[in-house]
Chains A and B, each alone.
Chain A
Amino acid sequence: MNELKKTFLLVTAFFISCSVFGQNLKKVVFTTHWIPQAQFAGYYYAKEKGIYKKYGLDVEIKSSGITESSQDLLASGKTDFALMFFSTALTERLKNIDIVNVAQLSQKSALIFLAKKSSGIRIPEDFEEKKVGIWKTGFEEIPRAFFNKYKLNVEIVPLSSSVNLFVLGAIDVMTVMWYNEYHTVLNSGFNEEELIPFFFSKHGLDVPEDGIYCNREFYKNNKETTEKFVKATLEGWKEAFKHPKEALDIVINYMSKSKIAANRAHQKWMLDRIENVFMPTDKSYKLGVFSEIDFNKTINILSTGKEKSKYPLYHEFVIIL
């Protein structure tokens, strides 16, 4: 009886292992829109914890942002999936690049105009004729919408990635991400009471950010793979939020592999804020699903009357899996 059981178990184990190893994992390339950091914890977590594998995928995660952008890599077909801000994706669409949104992770804008109180800024109107730093890499639409809204005439300073200009006083205001540069500024010796943040989400410019995009063509040919990739990714995020310590370890490991200056305090802050943005408590949402209302609001923010027709329609642009 025991022998029989053993034999049966061994045979079963053999078949299972055969099915795993013998399985042809589908190779997929995914590119984040910036260098490794906790903003991408869920993808790294899904890869390192074998969630992608579980869905039959062999995902290669690439970084971009310094020399090339994720949208460029997607346009050139160097990646299957790319992470992009919604605003960036719309810009791409306006360039007639036929990309589709397969998952919308960010439900809320994390963008902030950060000002120093010492510059005498208290309200948006105080930005007038001040030096305002804006990231130069294809991310100007929303800050410009902010200037339009408050009819501001400012001296725009294009920025790369550092906060040094702001910290050293070369500029008065700069765009920062709540989950990233805001904290960097805090850990450059500024106290919160010395700063004044203008959350875009509180100024009628709540444009969702991180979303996963692919070319329509790719999607048409790889519907099953896309579905698996999105499902696995969402699972990765849920698990990462559930196990922040492990997720942070993985992120920091990725960072050191890429020789990126990292500190745990900063990455922890980032993971916490990303959770606030992906799973907001003050908003109804479904993780990874783009709400049609948010979509249309963003179109209204970014388009000016005439151009509106150029923008894509929700059902045409967003793939609901």
Chain B
Amino acid sequence: MVISVIAIFIFAAYSFISKEIRLKNVQENAKNLTYNNANKIEKILKSVEKITESIAIVMEHTSVNDSELDSLIKAIVAKNNEISGCAVAFEPFKYSLSIQKHSPYYFKDGKEIKKTNLAVESLEYFYYDWYQIPKLLNHSIWNEPYFDEGGNGKLKSSFSVPFYKGEHISSNMVGIVSVNISLDWLQDIIGNIKIYESGYAFLLSNRGTFITNPNKNMILNESIFSVAEEYEQKELRTMGRKMIKGGDGFVFVPYYIEKEDCWFSYAPLPSINWSIAVVIPEVELFASLSYLNKIILLIGIVGIIVLFITIIVISRSMTLPLRAVTGIADKISNGNISAAVSELKKVEINNKAIQKLLINSNEKSKDEISQLFAAVGKMTYDLNTLLNRVVESVENVTTLRNKIVSSIRQLETTVTEQAASTNEVNATTNQISATVKSLANTMGDVSIVSINAAESTTNGLQNVAEIKNTMGNLTDSVNQISEKLKNIDSKAGNIANIISTITKIADKTNLLALNTAIESEKAGVYGAGFTVIAQEIRRLADQTAIATLDIEKIVDEMQESVKEGVSTVTKHTEETINSSDKINRLSLSLAKIIEQSKNLTPQFEFVNQGMQQQSEGAFQISEAMGQLNAVAKQTKGSLVELNEITIDLNKAINELQKEVGKFTV
């Protein structure tokens, strides 16, 4: 394409430049032609002018009589071939005071020379242009040509020279010498100017009238201006005005006389005020050029055609597989992979090169299109395989997701259970705490009572009844303590049970989290969220396990303390019971008792201390439980997140399924 554009450009430039050169040459030639002929014509006209002027000089400087004038005029007409007639016309009464009009006129009639007197006829020669114009202008003039009715309608013109008596002013004018000439020779000269095929010349008068023209009807009938008007050619009028003003030039006139584009070269004939022009049809001007141009153009066109055919063939061989590729790509984009594959196979069968390329990807082809086609083919097959795998993966992911969902549900149930258990532990711990507190109170009371008892004992035996009573109360209290301690013991046992449950759950959570981690790892990108969550869950499970271990330890310690307390209390109870029984008997050994009672107080403090330790332990349990609860809450939050992620996963799976569903595999 670019080549052809350049070729056309070069051709146009060549054509333009060669035309310009040609035009310049033609302009030069035409100018020479017009000036040469103008000179030729002027030479002849000048000789006529000289003769006429000579007669005028004779008329001015000599006083000739009738016969002398007659013989002079006759001789002039006879001796000069180009002159067809001569008249000497006088102003009224200037020839003779008695004669108004006088104008002898000699003219050729065949071989004869005839004479007439213009004054005799009814002609009023004073008012004829040939007389009036030089008279008014006071100088000689070539008159507008005319058809001589007396001389077979020949084209003639005349040269008039005024002659004077004295100074050359109008009032001194005596008459006019006028010589007329046939313009046959002029028409011959102009008629013989030939340029190119039909190029011709014409002559214009000083009014723009055609003096010569190949179209005879135009001579004297038309002026360059009337032609310009009739054919509405402004260029022609402009040129005409320049011509009658004595200019020269080279002008283009389009569609001259409704025929053809023409070039005009014109030059003046200064002495006569006429103008000569050469007309060259543009077609002929560039005829030889156009022949050369035609050959060049033909070569160019043939070249361009060959180029085009080559381009078409190549581009067809290129576009055919390209079109197949486009078709395949279209089908792929529509999701119709199976159709694309079947089309690909069709092309493959038809194109061995592509087949080869498809079979052996190492095969190198110089043909880029085949390579492209092979690449697209390979891509299509790969895409097909990939899509099949994707479909499978989607199915796998779906199964996985279902598994994750069920795991989450299980986890949820477990966490709920854990929460419930934790709450139970909490309640139990609170009960323990309350019991321990009341026990402590009781212990305080016991302490006071024992101190009181000791004091009372020291105070007197009279208070033995009181002591007895008090002892009874003490026994009751000790029993109560014992019972309560047992209660604590059993509760602690419960805690141990619950803790083992928690441990189990933690283990289970840990296991589940591990599974989840593994599965989410399988799910790849989609499972990335899961992995994090699973790790978090595992961490929590570990924390739970550690906390549980702590609790276990504390509970164990607590149980031990309780057992110790119980055994101590039981021991004291037995001792108290023994003491009460023995009070009566052992009132004597009251001092001993007092002594023992005094010993009792620090023991009670010890119990009290144990109780406080218990209380602290319960508090620690409560804290651990709180932690456990927080962990459970976190787990629940994680589970909500997990749920949300599962929903996202679900969505992703659905979208993936939708996308994959677009492909017909």
Residues of A within 8 A of B (CB): 67, 131, 136, 157-160, 162, 164-165, 167-171, 186-189, 191, 259, 261-266
Partner of A162, one of B144, B147, B221, B229: B144
Q: How far is the CB of A126 from chain B (nearest CB, A)?
A: 19
B220 within 8 A of A: yes
B491 within 8 A of A: no
Instruction: Considering the complex, give the chain A residue whose CB is closest to the CB of B122.
Output: A67
B129 within 8 A of A: yes
Contact of A188 with B127 at beta-carbon distance under 8 Å, contacts A168-B133, A168-B137 already known: no
A187 touches B137 (CB 8 A): no
Residues of B within 8 A of A (CB): 122, 124, 127-129, 132-133, 136-137, 141, 143-144, 147, 149, 153, 206-209, 220-223, 225-227, 229-230, 240-241, 244-245
- Complex interface: chain A residues within 8 A of B128 (CB): 160
Instruction: Considering the complex, give the chain A residue whose CB is closest to the CB of B241.
Output: A189
- Complex interface: chain B residues within 8 A of A131 (CB): 136
Bound together, the chains give a CA A168 to CA B129 distance in angstroms of: 11
B136 touches A159 (CB 8 A): no
Bound together, the chains give a CA A265 to CA B237 distance in angstroms of: 13
Q: How far is the CB of A259 from chain B (nearest CB, A)?
A: 7
Q: How far is the CB of B158 from chain A (nearest CB, A)?
A: 12
- Complex interface: chain A residues within 8 A of B245 (CB): 189
Q: How far is the CB of A265 from chain B (nearest CB, A)?
A: 4
Partner of A165, one of B129, B147, B149, B244: B129
Instruction: Considering the complex, give the chain A residue whose CB is closest to the CB of B141.
Output: A168
Judged by DSSP, the binding face of B is mixed
B226 touches A265 (CB 8 A): yes
A261 touches B207 (CB 8 A): no
The interface centre, meaning the residue of A131, A136, A259, A263 with most chain B CB atoms within 10 A of its CB, is A263
B149 touches A170 (CB 8 A): no
A168 touches B132 (CB 8 A): no
- Complex interface: chain A residues within 8 A of B225 (CB): 186-189
Partner of B133, one of A170, A188, A191: A170
Contact of A189 with B207 at beta-carbon distance under 8 Å, contacts A158-B127, A263-B226 already known: yes
Partner of B223, one of A67, A158, A188, A259: A188
What are 8 of the A-B contact pairs (CB < 8 Å)?
Answer: A157-B132, A157-B136, A160-B128, A165-B133, A167-B207, A170-B137, A188-B207, A265-B227
Judged by DSSP, the binding face of A is loop
Q: How far is the CB of A319 from chain B (nearest CB, A)?
A: 33
A136 touches B127 (CB 8 A): yes
Q: How far is the CB of A131 from chain B (nearest CB, A)?
A: 7
Q: How far is the CB of A135 from chain B (nearest CB, A)?
A: 10
B229 touches A187 (CB 8 A): yes
The interface centre, meaning the residue of A157, A158, A188 with most chain B CB atoms within 10 A of its CB, is A188
* 4 nearest A-B pairs in the assembled complex, by CB-CB distance: A170-B136, A187-B225, A188-B207, A265-B229
Contact of A165 with B222 at beta-carbon distance under 8 Å, contacts A160-B127, A259-B153 already known: no
Q: How far is the CB of A251 from chain B (nearest CB, A)?
A: 13
The interface centre, meaning the residue of B226, B227, B240 with most chain A CB atoms within 10 A of its CB, is B226
B141 touches A165 (CB 8 A): no
Q: How far is the CB of B344 from chain A (nearest CB, A)?
A: 78
Instruction: Considering the complex, give the chain A residue whose CB is closest to the CB of B245.
Output: A189
Partner of A171, one of B136, B143, B220, B221: B136
- Complex interface: chain B residues within 8 A of A167 (CB): 206-207
Partner of B132, one of A170, A187, A266: A170
B122 touches A164 (CB 8 A): no
Task: Knowing that A160-B124, A162-B144, A263-B226 touch, tell me 7 more A-B residue pairs with CB under 8 angstroms.
Answer: A160-B129, A164-B133, A170-B132, A186-B225, A187-B208, A188-B207, A265-B226
A264 touches B230 (CB 8 A): yes
A189 touches B244 (CB 8 A): yes
Bound together, the chains give a CA A157 to CA B136 distance in angstroms of: 9
Instruction: Considering the complex, give the chain B residue whose CB is closest to the CB of A159.
Output: B127
Bound together, the chains give a CA A187 to CA B225 distance in angstroms of: 5
Q: How far is the CB of A194 from chain B (nearest CB, A)?
A: 10
Bound together, the chains give a CA A289 to CA B71 distance in angstroms of: 60
Q: How far is the CB of B130 from chain A (nearest CB, A)?
A: 10
Bound together, the chains give a CA A131 to CA B137 distance in angstroms of: 12
Instruction: Considering the complex, give the chain B residue whose CB is closest to the CB of A187.
Output: B225
Bound together, the chains give a CA A264 to CA B222 distance in angstroms of: 8
Q: How far is the CB of B466 from chain A (nearest CB, A)?
A: 162
Bound together, the chains give a CA A217 to CA B137 distance in angstroms of: 49
Q: How far is the CB of A287 from chain B (nearest CB, A)?
A: 29
Instruction: Considering the complex, give the chain A residue whose CB is closest to the CB of B143.
Output: A164
Bound together, the chains give a CA A169 to CA B244 distance in angstroms of: 14
Bound together, the chains give a CA A67 to CA B121 distance in angstroms of: 10
Q: How far is the CB of A87 from chain B (nearest CB, A)?
A: 20
- Complex interface: chain B residues within 8 A of A170 (CB): 132-133, 136-137
Bound together, the chains give a CA A168 to CA B134 distance in angstroms of: 10
Q: How far is the CB of A74 from chain B (nearest CB, A)?
A: 19
Contact of A164 with B226 at beta-carbon distance under 8 Å, contacts A171-B136, A262-B221, A263-B221 already known: no
Q: How far is the CB of B432 from chain A (nearest CB, A)?
A: 133
Bound together, the chains give a CA A164 to CA B127 distance in angstroms of: 12
Bound together, the chains give a CA A266 to CA B225 distance in angstroms of: 10
Bound together, the chains give a CA A227 to CA B206 distance in angstroms of: 48
Bound together, the chains give a CA A160 to CA B127 distance in angstroms of: 6
Bound together, the chains give a CA A264 to CA B240 distance in angstroms of: 18
Bound together, the chains give a CA A162 to CA B136 distance in angstroms of: 14
Q: How far is the CB of B204 from chain A (nearest CB, A)?
A: 10
- Complex interface: chain B residues within 8 A of A259 (CB): 147, 149, 153
Partner of B230, one of A160, A165, A265: A265
Q: How far is the CB of B217 from chain A (nearest CB, A)?
A: 8
- Complex interface: chain B residues within 8 A of A186 (CB): 225
Instruction: Considering the complex, give the chain A residue whose CB is closest to the CB of B244.
Output: A189
Q: How far is the CB of B140 from chain A (nearest CB, A)?
A: 13
Bound together, the chains give a CA A163 to CA B229 distance in angstroms of: 19
Instruction: Considering the complex, give the chain B residue whose CB is closest to the CB of A155.
Output: B136
- Complex interface: chain B residues within 8 A of A189 (CB): 207-208, 223, 225, 240-241, 244-245
Q: How far is the CB of B230 from chain A (nearest CB, A)?
A: 4
Partner of A261, one of B127, B136, B143, B221: B221
Q: How far is the CB of A167 from chain B (nearest CB, A)?
A: 6
- Complex interface: chain A residues within 8 A of B136 (CB): 131, 157, 165, 170-171
Q: How far is the CB of A78 from chain B (nearest CB, A)?
A: 16
Instruction: Considering the complex, give the chain A residue whose CB is closest to the CB of B136.
Output: A170
Q: How far is the CB of A248 from chain B (nearest CB, A)?
A: 11
Instruction: Considering the complex, give the chain A residue whose CB is closest to the CB of B219.
Output: A261
The interface centre, meaning the residue of A131, A136, A261, A266 with most chain B CB atoms within 10 A of its CB, is A261
B226 touches A168 (CB 8 A): no
Q: How far is the CB of B96 from chain A (nearest CB, A)?
A: 23
Bound together, the chains give a CA A248 to CA B414 distance in angstroms of: 124
Bound together, the chains give a CA A189 to CA B136 distance in angstroms of: 21
A266 touches B226 (CB 8 A): yes
The interface centre, meaning the residue of B133, B141, B153 with most chain A CB atoms within 10 A of its CB, is B133
Bound together, the chains give a CA A164 to CA B209 distance in angstroms of: 12
Bound together, the chains give a CA A171 to CA B137 distance in angstroms of: 9
B226 touches A187 (CB 8 A): yes
- Complex interface: chain A residues within 8 A of B229 (CB): 187, 265
Partner of B220, one of A261, A265, A266: A261
- Complex interface: chain B residues within 8 A of A171 (CB): 136
Instruction: Considering the complex, give the chain A residue whose CB is closest to the CB of B243.
Output: A189
